[in-house]
Structure 1
Amino acid sequence: MKKADIFEFYRRLAEANPDPETELAYGNPYQLLVAVTCSAQSTDVGVNKATKALFEEVKTPAQMVALGLEGLKNHIKTIGLYNNKAKNVIALSEILVRDHGGEVPADRDALEALPGVGRKTANVVMNTAFGAETFAVDTHIFRLGNRTGIAPGKTVIAVEKALEKSTPKPFRVGAHHWLILHGRYICKARTPECWRCPVADLCRFKPKTPAPKIKSAKVQTE
């Protein structure tokens, strides 16, 4: 996609949603870190349901350590891979208390050193909690980058690097959220809803998906 088209792509998404936000519910950077760690292979809706009561009780790493592994499992047992996620959350909480004064570090390398925290999770936390210009590439953004032509790449890292290179300055902080929301609700995996997409004319995807046909009601006769 050409530089001018990329700018217009983001401009339209920003116009439609000036203040994009994550759909994960959280109250502080630590709770965000926990939520994102729990979100792997789970929906944001499912994570929010599991963490609602948890986050009313636990707001700091020290409180999570005090809750303990079994206590945490009871809260998040409705989400996938909860056993492993619970172990990671307790372990990273212990490290935050021991090495970081109970605070979430605003540093990607330090975040990636925590149990259960990969590059994508670190990028989300850096962007959402600290306003860093990072690009967390999940399945939605990977698909969108390649399908639209805004950031093509054969690997997640390649798409991330392409986004870093091509995303214009005014849109760098919000880009992650605009792209993931667009991929989640309009540029869907199986059937992209091109007929209602605000950037369809800029997108390189062909053929564009037409609007679904409205079935006409049959006239009943006696």
Structure 2
Amino acid sequence: MKRTEKIKFIGEKLDELFPNPPIPLNYTNPFTMLVAVVLSAQCTDIRVNQVTAVLFKHADTPQKMVKLGVERIAEIIKPCGFFNTKSVNIFKLSQALVEKFKGEVPHSFEELESLPGVGHKTASVIMSHIFKLPAFPVDTHIHRLAERWGLSDGSSVEKTEEDLKKAFPESEWEKRHLQIIYFGRTYCKARGHKDEDCPICSVIKSKKRPPQQSAG
């Protein structure tokens, strides 16, 4: 299958299975989304949502988070794992937002990535889903599937991001990011995966041409 055929088929199958993928993390404003994404590292979205349901009752702004303090933050987010490091980062990024950005989450990669605990992937999530600016966040699911589908070589998340941005139109990046995550969790898992059982791998890794989508 040619690369262009493969990309077209993948896009159509993702649209079929996950036409309107929701953001899996609960949030009420850019700050709570930022904190939720920081907490999501090495933690399931379900667990994060359980923790933030408590955390955001106490602190849903940078100012309130600073007042809460590191020890109380750590106590609340303990179920997420790596809570000592995450609590310090959440406290310090809240401080930085208050002191440098007037309590507002900044709108640029450079400024977001200057915040403690905020890397490129976290910044990309905020840029894409909150500010609706061009970004293609790459998590472990997306990195795995991009290599598995032959869209990237798996050498680095940076290369995966670059290749996926070339594969899909910019207008689709936000949607594709979510769709691939949901697909990876549902059909194309890291362990126990069988190509023949996967709605995408079973087609793109076979010698058959992908089925044509009917018009209308």
The TM-score bracket by the shorter chain reads 0.7 to 0.9
Q: Report the CA distance between 1:193 and its aligned residue.
A: 5.5
| TM-score of the pair, normalised by structure 1 | 0.86
Pairing of 1:73-222 with structure 2 (within 5 A): 73-192=74-193, 194-195=195-196, 197-204=198-205
Q: In angstroms, what is the RMSD of aligned CA positions?
A: 1.9
The structure having more radius of gyration, on CA atoms, is 1
Structure 1 SS opposite 2:27: coil
CA–CA distance in structure 2, aligned partners of residues 174 and 47 of structure 1: 22
Identity of aligned residues (%): 41
Aligned to 2:42: 41
Contact 1:9 1:202 in 2 (8 A): no
Contact 1:153 1:162 in 2 (8 A): no
CA–CA distance in structure 2, aligned partners of residues 26 and 49 of structure 1: 12
Structure 1 SS opposite 2:80: coil
* CA offset digits 1:154-197 (Å, max 9, x no partner): 11111111111111345222111111111111100012254553
Q: Report the CA distance between 1:23 and its aligned residue.
A: 1.3
Aligned to 1:6: 7
CA–CA distance in structure 1, aligned partners of residues 12 and 58 of structure 2: 40
Unpaired runs of 5+ in structure 1?
A: 207-222
Return the letter of the residue paired with 2:169: P
CA–CA distance in structure 2, aligned partners of residues 132 and 204 of structure 1: 33
Aligned to 2:214: none
* CA offset digits 1:7-35 (Å, max 9, x no partner): 23112212322221221111111111001
Aligned to 1:19: 20
Return the letter of the residue paired with 1:104: V
Q: Report the CA distance between 1:129 and its aligned residue.
A: 1.1
* CA offset digits 1:73-131 (Å, max 9, x no partner): 12101121101100000000011111111111121111111000111111111111112
Return the letter of the residue paired with 2:129: T
Query: Which structure carries more helix by proportion?
Result: 2
CA–CA distance in structure 2, aligned partners of residues 168 and 8 of structure 1: 14
Structure 2 SS opposite 1:173: helix
Q: CA separation of 1:169/1:39 partners in 2, compared to 1, >3 Å: closer, same or farther?
A: closer
CA–CA distance in structure 1, aligned partners of residues 35 and 206 of structure 2: 36
CA–CA distance in structure 2, aligned partners of residues 100 and 21 of structure 1: 29
Contact 1:7 1:167 in 2 (8 A): no
Q: Is 90-99 or 197-206 further displaced after alignment?
A: 197-206
CA–CA distance in structure 1, aligned partners of residues 75 and 7 of structure 2: 45
Number of aligned residue pairs = 206
| TM-score of the pair, normalised by structure 2 | 0.88
CA–CA distance in structure 2, aligned partners of residues 67 and 100 of structure 1: 19
Contact 2:195 2:202 in 1 (8 A): no
Contact 1:136 1:176 in 2 (8 A): yes
Aligned to 2:52: 51
